[in-house]
Amino acid sequence: MRKLRRSLIGLALIPVIAAASLWATSMALEPDPAGDALAPDPAMHPDAVIQVYGADVWGFRGNFAIHTWVAVKGRGEPDYTIYQVIGWRQRRGRPVLSISEGNPARPWFGSPAILLHERRGANTEVLVTRVRDAVAAYPFADKYTMWPGPNSNSFTAWVGLQVPELGLDLPVKAIGQSWMKSEYPTIIGAER
């Protein structure tokens, strides 16, 4: 009877231990913010700004994966241009590369935005132009695959690879970020 009781207690502990392990893993993967997730008001901050944001993806997967996007504002521009890859646009026959204007720090489907990287000040205007050129040259504007890529994080990594002066280093939760390097090294100019 004692062995049966121990076995039942052991079986009951398995889901608790598994849940605790998932929670601990999720907490360990949380990215360190580069600052407050606030985009400087263009009316108050006329200088060029580049920001990279991330937010947990929808549902349970958000414990282990984020969606990332890039926002730029050239000197004197009245708004931010937001660049991101959105997979469900493909199902509607639209390009997955989305270009819009607005507040880049807004939540992503209920998940708060996290500022992952930012550039301001000297030389940022030149980098804004280079980011825009990288976006225009993105070779997978009509293709999306959640895993292994190309996806939103592959796109953001592409921008960082094309503009190494940004110093962009995406967090582990940016699943798909290494896809471009491993699958298409010649496209990113790895032979340079």
Per-residue pLDDT reduced to its tens digit, 61-99: 657 799 999 999 999 999 999 999 998 777 888 899 999
In this structure, are residues 40 and 72 in contact, taking their beta carbons and an 8 Å threshold?
no
| pLDDT at res. 187 | 63
In the sheet with 80-85, reading across from the earlier edge strand, the strands are 97-102, 80-85, 66-73, 49-56, 114-120
124, burial (CB in 10 Å: exposed 0-12, middle 13-18, buried 19+): buried
Task: Give the 3-state secondary structure of residue 19.
Answer: helix
- Output the CA–CA distances (angstroms, integers) from residue 118 to 2, 93, 124, 171, 179, in the order listed: 60, 33, 10, 14, 23
User: Dihedral of CA 185/186/189/192: which sign?
Assistant: positive
CB 168 within 8 A of CB 28: no
CA torsion angle 19 20 21 26 (round to 10): 90
Residues whose CB falls within 8 Å of the CB of residue 162, separated by 6 or more in sequence, listed in order: 130, 133, 134, 137, 188, 189
Q: pLDDT for 140-165, tens place per residue?
A: 999 988 888 899 999 999 999 999 99
| Torsion angle of C-alpha atoms 181, 186, 187, 190, degrees rounded to 10 | 60
Model confidence at 186, pLDDT cuts 50, 70, 90, reads low
What is the pTM for the complete model shown? Answer: 0.80
Report the pLDDT averaged over residues 21-36: 52
